[in-house]
Structure 1
Amino acid sequence: MGKYSKREFQLGDWYLTQRGPAWYRTRYNPDTKQAERVSLAVTDFDEAKEALTTWYFENMRLEADNLAPEKMPLASVLLDYWNNHAISLASAPSRKILIKYWNDFWGEATVADVRVLNRQEEFQEWLAGKGLNVGSVNRTLEVGAAAINRAWKRGAVSHVPFIHKVKDNRDLRDIKKGADLTLDDLRAYWRGSDVQHWQDLLTILIATACRPEAARELTKEQLDFENGLVHLNQRGRLQTGKRRPTVKLPPTMADRFRDRPDGVLVLWRGAATGKNERLMRIARMRAGLGADVNLYSIRHFCARWMRQHSVDPWTCAAQLGHGAGGKLTVTERYAEADPMFLKASCDALEKLLQAVILPEAGQQGAESTAA
């Protein structure tokens, strides 16, 4: 680079160079094939970093639509956080690693992309897959949240996404369980066993996107056929961090269980089933699926399917029982009375049931949405 220094600090296309004692913001212009430089009127390197960061964020702010986070690269926010804050902390070595996790996963994403709950859950799963425990996952999430909050305080973005944390080890085990499936995999998994209680169990899992334990414990009394609802949490059972919500009852599920006797719906030889490990192994083997496929794989597929069918993040979160930890406002307690309550997610899951159980009825267009 001749008389200019190496790129010790860079934001976007702009980087710092020094000519004599003065620092400049510099970028390469591909049209003129020359470097453009503008004096920052400072001679101290730290002041130069601050000046470039202030100018860069202000420039991004002016170019954005009312500080829209859709225009702010997440990588720039993370870089500013590292260079102008985290690097001077005692915890800098560990924070550098955590920032790298964010960059490796999110790549060229913008701040707005972080708002998508499904992507946050995929990030948590990705972190868990690297062997991080719940504390380390949450520390990683905190670093990213701190970087984005710093950008907001500096006027670089108009608002910040809420970063959801993993609540406890059970939640971390949840996101670590279950390999990804395609639609054809799910069909094969369904047909891997024609035993009634296996297909009863999968019907509930697909129709409600609930966790396996909620499906195994579901009783007919929890199905409200008149109002078309499934109360996944039994009466008298306290909600936990893994909230069991009330969701819509898809028609295919209603038809399957309408004439069943009262009590638990998934029965084997007249009694409630356990964890179905043997049946899972048989179904998996017949379907040609790997040992990392399990019942949680269905829940994760349902979440992706809903998003692929334009179900908004709030509705997906409500269907999956994420977010509120079981605590609802007084108004939200009556949400299920709304005819449109979770209608979008119910319609999407009904379409998935038909595509799995009756592929000829749900074949059209379904293949293109295989996850």
Structure 2
Amino acid sequence: MIERYTLKNGATRWRAREWDPLRRRYVNVSSGHTSERAAKKSHREWVAAGGMKTLLRARSRITLAEIHERWLELAELSDSTRAVYRNDTKRFVEKYGRLRPGAVERVVALEWKKQRPRDVAALSAMWSWATAAELIPGDHNPWAGLVQKQAGRDLEPGWLLMPDVVRLLALPPVVLAGTYGTVWTAVIGVAAFVGLRPGEIAGLRWDDLRPDEGLIHVQRQYNGKTRTFTLPKHGHKRFVAYPAQARALVDAMPRMHDERVFNGVRGGVLSPGVRDRAWHPIRAAFGRPDMDLYELRHFCATWLREEGASASDVAEQLGHQDGGKLVLKTYGHPRANPALNRIRALMEAVPTNDAQEATA
């Protein structure tokens, strides 16, 4: 914009101004011109010489703390992701926030990754956003290549079959005290037959269940890092199928809370820590002490695909927003050897005592 202003001595001058997205105000890119025409010419020359990039190069006082503030304000993130990113970057900004981006060398990023590897993805995301917003030069990213892809939660082909799930369902009453085992049988059933994420299971309320319609209204999830209930992943509520297998297990468990369906043994929220304390003895008794509860969601997706559901339909049930691409890539492929798995399922269905009698 071209603007006229008056000096203290009453003389009139013209200047060219541009909006600075970081400082959230207009700044002068040229000033002191005696005519509007001269100011416009100066502005055209400034644009031809690089415009905003020139302004960015001249910012000698931009700090990481300022960039961090603008990133969390302007980046297109869900509320839960924003909260996670804020938590994962706050320590780095507390330590290095006064520095300019160019002062953060590769060795600093490597040392930080060694100390706090979980922070790297959020810091890299902040750097990428700031680079795209032209707040940081594109040729300086100390986090480049440091973000490691998370290990997939899918299983080896053919591992989890229906007999495995049936055996898992029988374990909670054996390893957990009192009626709490019945609650966890229902948790496993909802994870395996409905395919909800663990956080979505923790967020279920009784009025979300619509057994007469065979539906569940997934409206929230519990975020362990922020310790709050938020919208489901991607910020989208959805209806999912509520099959009879899961309904029967939920109906059989005691009500521990007036609103929440699933709770900890003391009636609190089924947070990640509370969840792990109950899930660990179950998976240990099953013979897989490192098994993630999320693997039951994988079973659901693969089971539905093998029963003939399309990738897009499975994606709808799981709450994906890509029309089935991730299902095809990760969840949806039929197991590597369907015939072998059918034989295995048949063999595992034969009671052990019958086999012993046959060989006696």
Q: What is the TM-score normalised by the length of structure 2? A: 0.39
Larger Rg computed on CA atoms: 2
Q: TM-score, normalised by structure 1?
A: 0.38
